[in-house]
Chains A and B, each alone.
Chain A
């Protein structure tokens, strides 16, 4: 297939990145294609570090050849023979036997796809940190512009895509595309990864998969750490759109339980570079340390830390603590923080 033809199909299908940012795929492709650099790389991000999200694992278990085909289409489009398959160690152990022979076959055809196995971490999936890791540097975010599309690894442009995006590319290229995506459902009767329609509402997706709770609940949409929180009523109108997970919490879940989960995650996953995320996340955890279910949540102390993390963190990891906490306070507790 000619590059332009594929690009047109991708644009027509309205493909957006499935890593979270939902950037239109065709724009990213075109931008990198137009660069004069003689060497370019394609990188597949299979880091998947959000709590509970397992849709990339599911895709790689069930459709590994599609993901790799997606990579090959991208490589052909950029006329490059070099790519990295960046995968978290736990996943690689599970998938090695499936992926290795597929990549070996690619190599025989001249497509050099290197496997880069990362120590599983949330920061490891962050663009700059991921590229640094491949370059042999510390897995820490970058502040430098230009974007990875211009200088990604070893000074060359990188076309970086999430597993699911590459899977979608293959579906488009092979004329099998439908407007669906994968979502991990947690806290439901049958936990697992489900195919959902992208224009569905959250509650509808739960019903269709026979997962709508028979108890009162609130729901976190988009990831077990950074996803926003909604009530069951709001779930009727919230788009499933770009979310990787739907997690149900029983209405009895206490603020302490919910916040502990969030704060502990950020404290554990902070890479330690910048002040607000490194020290803020630890202070948040400390604020809850000696509380019990009867204690009052110290919102007035939590709020300034959340704000400074949101507004001044180095990378998206630290900033992403605000949406779950703010939306939980607002939607479930009815308070602005």
Chain B
């Protein structure tokens, strides 16, 4: 690629270097200049509809997101007129926001409220046109309120980017509103990318905050919490910390402060998943190496968004999905059985809360198929799921200043290996499973633990891994759009694989729909680096070497029925809205 041409532009009299063709808003933001904006998102197409990022150029008011940098260009951003115009558009845009916004009503942090405060306006100046439209629920995962929506199109574009096209804007004038695709062939997969791109809380997770708060206040319950691999590398952003900074030890302290009695870890669950999944992979590979032509490539199934995608769009591939449950469902089941018994706690009194970077985990936690009988009680592995954003809101509400807390450790049963830490990054599940599967197949460890080919933000990564003298062909796929490409390749016999990891979100869970709104591809990369450095520093880096996991499997050894109930799952064709 040729080097981009560099030009100098002048913003409020100061010279800035810019790539030719870059827009003025990008130049300003890259230089930490604050121009209010709402519909602009660096990873999405320019829409230029909010009309907030106004600047003056050659005596005319223009949107800086559409103004391309050119040599010597002079921009001013601070005139009284510009400020007035931005304020007026913001008043129009956010009319009635506060009284319609559940976050603002509960005094939780809301990005729209922040924008209003920064620009000195309220949402009371105008009353917005209220349309007779209900809040639409996407399964048990997310929801959108058309009457809070500012029609910026970010959710629509992010949904298209993921490859689903479930969301769209319908209608004209003030009747323009967020709607969903009515086609029977199109359904939401609950990935929540829409929620992480909504600047006004119109598209959001289905909140479990109230339920968790009342459980925390219930003296009769045993509150157990577990945090997903990705959350520790992103939650700091909610408190102004650098993306990728590992906050886990402070989070453990914070969760204790909130009143959770036991602090465990989804990472422990990830180690269980790796062991179960690696066994299945090893079995499939053994058969294949023995010449069995009927062995299908195995697909990961720890991402509920991806699973819904297969069950709805590609049900022919259901047999390819691993029978292993996902990490927090694994550990939830383990804690409510093995740990409860060990600790002498009534499993029926345990309230299991998962903190996830994800909205589809809320949908997954509610699935009937994961419930199981234990000691005469029907149990759900996980009771509530909070997103990274929700836990940050809860901490702020309780005046818990995360960055300034003391470090502490998780309770013993939350211990995990380095293989679990990298589950959050696209390629991590694959890498972890291969580390263990290699051991299971050859009795030896992989010579090099790091599989660089499956790391990084690329949507489709392919690699051939040597296990013993055999070659295993793998792929790592992120987003539904890329999943479609790979599934079509397989369907049409263009490519063959042994094992494929699929995730609904860009970069994997670390770029998940429950993550802080600050997320961009550039920030996701930093978070990923954070996860790999946790792995690097761990003494135990293979799931099967995790002593806690070994203890759990020893417990299950003479309980095959329980094992079958809490380790494995099955899948079925899904209809729209299922």
Contacts and interface: CB of A to CB of B under 8 A. Distances in A.
B294 interface: no
B128 A279 contact: yes
Given A143-B66, A275-B51, A283-B92, A312 B61 contact: yes
A69 interface: no
A275 B54 contact: no
B341 interface: no
A272 B92 CA distance: 13
A311 interface: yes
A271 interface: yes
A267 B174 contact: yes
Contacts of B173: 267-272, 278, 281-282
Nearest to A281: B173
A313 B88 contact: no
Contacts of A276: 51, 88-89, 92
Nearest to B176: A272
A112 interface: no
Contacts of B171: 272
Given A305-B88, A312-B89, A275 B174 contact: no
A151 B117 CA distance: 41
A312 B174 contact: no
Contact of A282 (B51, B66, B129): B129
Contact of A272 (B63, B81, B151): B151
B51 A313 contact: yes
A275 B93 contact: yes
A195 B150 CA distance: 46
A276 B49 CA distance: 9
Contacts of A281: 173-174
Contacts of A274: 48-51
A141 to B, nearest CB: 10
A143 B48 contact: yes
A282 B89 contact: no
A283 B89 contact: no
A307 B84 CA distance: 10
B209 interface: no
B83 interface: no
Contacts of A279: 92-93, 95, 126, 128, 174
Contact of A312 (B46, B85, B128, B175): B85
A308 B126 contact: no
Interface residues on chain A, size class: 20 to 34
B49 A308 contact: no
Contacts of A271: 172-173, 176
A143 B25 CA distance: 15
Contacts of B128: 279
Interface in A145-189: 145
B52 to A, nearest CB: 8
Interface in B351-369: none
Interface string B122-164: 0000111100000000000000000000110000000000000
A314 B49 contact: yes
A204 B498 CA distance: 85
Contact of B126 (A270, A283, A311): A283
A275 B92 contact: yes
Interface in B225-249: none
B89 A275 contact: yes
B49 A273 contact: yes
A336 B175 CA distance: 32
Contacts of A283: 92, 95, 126
A280 interface: yes
Contact of A314 (B51, B54, B92): B51
A226 B61 CA distance: 21
Interface in A123-150: 123, 143-145
B174 A282 contact: yes
Interface string B77-107: 0000100110011001101000000000000
B99 to A, nearest CB: 17
Label chain A's interface by main secondary structure: helix
Interface residues of B, number: 32
A267 B173 CA distance: 6
A286 B125 CA distance: 13
A24 interface: no
Interface string B44-60: 00101111101000000
B38 to A, nearest CB: 9
A304 interface: yes
Interface in B253-308: none
A143 B171 CA distance: 20
A314 B85 CA distance: 14
Nearest to A267: B173
* Most chain A CB atoms below 10 A, which of B63, B173, B176: B173
B172 A308 contact: no
Interface in A223-280: 267-276, 278-280
Contacts of B46: 143
Nearest to B174: A282
Contacts of A145: 68
A304 B83 CA distance: 13
B39 to A, nearest CB: 9
Nearest to B52: A275
A308 B174 contact: no
B51 A312 contact: yes
Nearest to A121: B172
Contacts of B92: 275-276, 279-280, 283, 305, 308
A140 B169 CA distance: 12
A280 to B, nearest CB: 6
Most-contacted residue by chain B among A144, A308, A313 (CB, 10 A): A308
Contacts of A267: 173-174
Contacts of B66: 143-144
Contact of A270 (B48, B81, B174): B174
A308 B89 contact: yes
A272 B172 contact: yes
A64 B51 CA distance: 41
Contact of A278 (B68, B88, B151): B151
A283 B49 CA distance: 18
Contacts of A308: 85, 88-89, 92
Interface string A293-337: 000000000001101100111100000000000000000000000
A30 B46 CA distance: 32
B427 to A, nearest CB: 36
A275 B49 contact: yes
Given A269-B173, A271-B173, A272-B174, A311 B48 contact: no
A220 B548 CA distance: 83
A230 to B, nearest CB: 27
Most A CB within 10 A of own CB, among B66, B93, B174, B175: B174
Contacts of B129: 282, 286
A128 to B, nearest CB: 12
Nearest to A272: B176
B89 A270 contact: no
B258 to A, nearest CB: 39
Nearest to A283: B126
Contact of B54 (A272, A273, A312): A312
Nearest to B177: A272
Contact of B172 (A270, A304, A313): A270
Interface in B164-197: 169, 171-176
A276 B127 CA distance: 14
Contacts of B50: 274-275
B85 A311 contact: yes
5 contacts: A271-B172, A272-B175, A275-B49, A275-B89, A279-B92
* Nearest 4 Cβ contacts at the A-B interface: A272-B176, A282-B174, A279-B92, A270-B173
Interface of B: 46, 48-52, 54, 61, 63, 66, 68, 81, 84-85, 88-89, 92-93, 95, 126-129, 150-151, 169, 171-176
Interface of A: 121, 123, 143-145, 267-276, 278-283, 286, 304-305, 307-308, 311-314
Given A271-B173, A312-B54, 5 more contacts: A272-B169, A274-B49, A278-B176, A307-B88, A311-B61
